Amino acid sequence: MLVSGNCRMDSLLRSHPNNDARAYFEATIARRRQEPGDDIISAFVRAEEENQALTAAEVLSLSILLLLGGTETTTNLLGSTMVTFLQQPEELAKVRDDRSLIPQLIEESLRYHSPVQALFRQTTQAVEIAGTIIPAHATVMPLPASANRDARKFPDPERFDLTRNADGHVALGHGVHFCLGAPLARLEAKIALEALLQHLPPLRATEQPMTWIDSFFVRGPKTLPLAIASVS
């Protein structure tokens, strides 16, 4: 492994300057130390206290990572997919007509929108990439969002096309630190999109413009005003 993944927490915390999550988890972990249950935080605490497999700092980091990494990302993927539906109604029509396209829609949306735009990583040894040597212990900033729009891999990359082959996108990372929650994220997105297409009436954008989250690290709508379109 040339690049270590333990900087993800830093990048998540940097993109969330507010310390409420930390305070919430510190209190929850303290409660689980007193009254363990069959939940995942109690399992982390057991790994620390009984096996010394984790440090107290890692118990805190892992708990926050699972919450932030597991909720905001999927929420943003769904929000961004909605933006595409509004901007390209023909893509929405295709998937409304043929729900079997939902998995492809999710992969193209992951590629096109890249909910995690950038990461921080640290090299564990010197590595040469495209003729440039990056020394050991350097901080690097891989950009999945850029790789996912590389024309050498995805022809006409700025076009959202749910029928394209989006295999090989890196929206969920690559290698040993590949997103732990990838199957869950894909399942959640599939269930949500199926429900949306089945139950919701046609939606349209309002005159109020949508806004994107102001962040280098995450992409998703901050506000997305929608109105129910009248059906004739």
Separation CA 35–CA 145 (nearest Å): 42
Q: Which residues, other chains included, contact 18 with Cβ-Cβ below 8 Å and sequence gap of 6+? A: none
Nearest approach, Cβ of residue 205 and ligand HEM (Å): 23
Q: Which residues, other chains included, contact 72 with Cβ-Cβ below 8 Å and sequence gap of 6+? A: 115, 218, 220
Nearest approach, Cβ of residue 130 and ligand HEM (Å): 19
Nearest approach, Cβ of residue 194 and ligand HEM (Å): 16
**3 state SS of 227:** strand
At 142, list the tokens.
């891989």
Nearest approach, Cβ of residue 169 and ligand HEM (Å): 10
Separation CA 124–CA 169 (nearest Å): 24
Q: Which is nearer to ligand HEM, 32 or 186 (CB)?
A: 186
Nearest approach, Cβ of residue 2 and ligand HEM (Å): 12
Q: Which is nearer to ligand HEM, 172 or 209 (CB)?
A: 172
User: Which is nearest to 170 in space by CA: 102, 116, 215, 220?
Assistant: 116
Q: Which is nearer to ligand HEM, 45 or 218 (CB)?
A: 218
Q: Which is nearer to ligand HEM, 5 or 157 (CB)?
A: 5
Separation CA 210–CA 126 (nearest Å): 43
According to DSSP, residue 210 is labeled P
**Backbone torsion region of residue 156, taken as left when φ is above 0, otherwise alpha when ψ lies between -120 and 50, otherwise beta:** left
Which element (helix H / strand E) includes 95? helix 89-97
Q: Which is nearer to ligand HEM, 24 or 202 (CB)?
A: 24
Q: Side-chain half-sphere of 90: how many Cα atoms within 13 Å? A: 5
Nearest approach, Cβ of residue 228 and ligand HEM (Å): 27
Q: Which is nearer to ligand HEM, 157 or 173 (CB)?
A: 173
Nearest approach, Cβ of residue 144 and ligand HEM (Å): 6
Q: Which is nearer to ligand HEM, 11 or 32 (CB)?
A: 11
Question: In the complex, which residues of this chain contact ligand HEM (CB under 6 A)?
Answer: 5, 8, 65-66, 69-70, 73-74, 77, 115-116, 119, 144, 171-175, 177-181, 184-185
